[in-house]
Amino acid sequence: MRVFAAVLPAALLAGCVTIPGVVDEDHLERAAAAVSSDEGFAGLAAGAVEQTSQHFVTHAYGAVQTARIAAMAETAYSRIMVDTGLFSFQSPAGLYNIVVYADADEYHRKTGEAGWSDGVAAGRSVYSYEGPGLDAALSHAMTHLVFRDFIGHDNLDYRWVNEGLAVYEESKAGQPASGGVAPALPPWPQGWQPLSQDTLVHLAPASERERGTSAWFRQAGSMVRFMIERGGRIGFGQFLSGLRQDAAFDKAIGDSFQGGWNNFASFYAAWVTAQQ
């Protein structure tokens, strides 16, 4: 799932939605011949439906399917807000776009994405396709949009947090808007050794091609999960606020998890111990 840099200054997110679903204030459920794209991707075919909800403008085929996808997106958004503790963040930037193609063939043909891709976040939009993995794909890509909007700048050192959070939220697809519970992680293989802090920060994979099998993605997701579930969602939200200020990991962690971890090294050591 490739992620393009945001076109506008980052700052989206709103409060948690207690009851996800469609907020169709203008009764928008109209046919759309094409969809504007942040990356110039070809839009949906004539007859597609556009549905506005609280945080998204969703484009898909069929009124029932589009309403279902809009509700799915709102649930995923709310789950992300709960897990990140970013309830109070408000953005003047407007709504996200969700574009869902009919199938993988239309998605790959119109976006030009690699065959392994199941979704892409571009600018303020998420592109994916109908299928059993749609909820997970939206959850992953949407997390990238939320992270970029909140942080407001690109820092490659933060990529493990961005990807780890996206992997964590993808694993929670299907869980309720109130946060739900992530599935249990399988044990590490025999003889497993954790990647070092330096490797995690500076040697991230070039793409997400192997995000389902890569040790780097698995460790990033596990570390973010540990930070959220052991350190607390409020602390994690404060940690993200530190990154938004472009703080080093030591300061962001020490300021956010007082009484827990003093710096990146102590957090990493605690995570490693918990894996044994």
Q: Report how far residue 209's alpha carbon sits from residue 117's, in angstroms, rounded to the nearest whole number.
A: 7
Tell me, what's the pLDDT at 40?
73
| pLDDT class of 2 with cuts at 50, 70, 90 | low
Q: What does pTM read for this prediction?
A: 0.86
Residue 11 pLDDT greater than 80, yes or no = no
Residue 87 or 114, more confident? 114
Tens-place pLDDT, residues 216-261: 999 999 999 999 999 999 999 999 999 999 999 999 999 999 889 9
Percent of the chain scoring above 70 in pLDDT: 84
Tell me, what's the pLDDT at 275?
95
233-244 helix and 215-231 helix, angle to the nearest 10 degrees? 120
Tokens 């094409």 -> residue: 34
Residue 37 pLDDT greater than 60, yes or no = no
Residue 50 pLDDT greater than 50, yes or no = yes
Tens-place pLDDT, residues 174-202: 999 999 999 999 999 999 999 999 999 99
Tell me, what's the pLDDT at 66?
98
Q: What mean pLDDT value characterizes the chain?
A: 87
Q: Which two tokens stand for residue 26?
A: 């203008």
Tell me, what's the pLDDT at 264?
98
Tens-place pLDDT, residues 132-174: 999 999 999 999 999 999 999 989 999 999 999 999 999 999 9
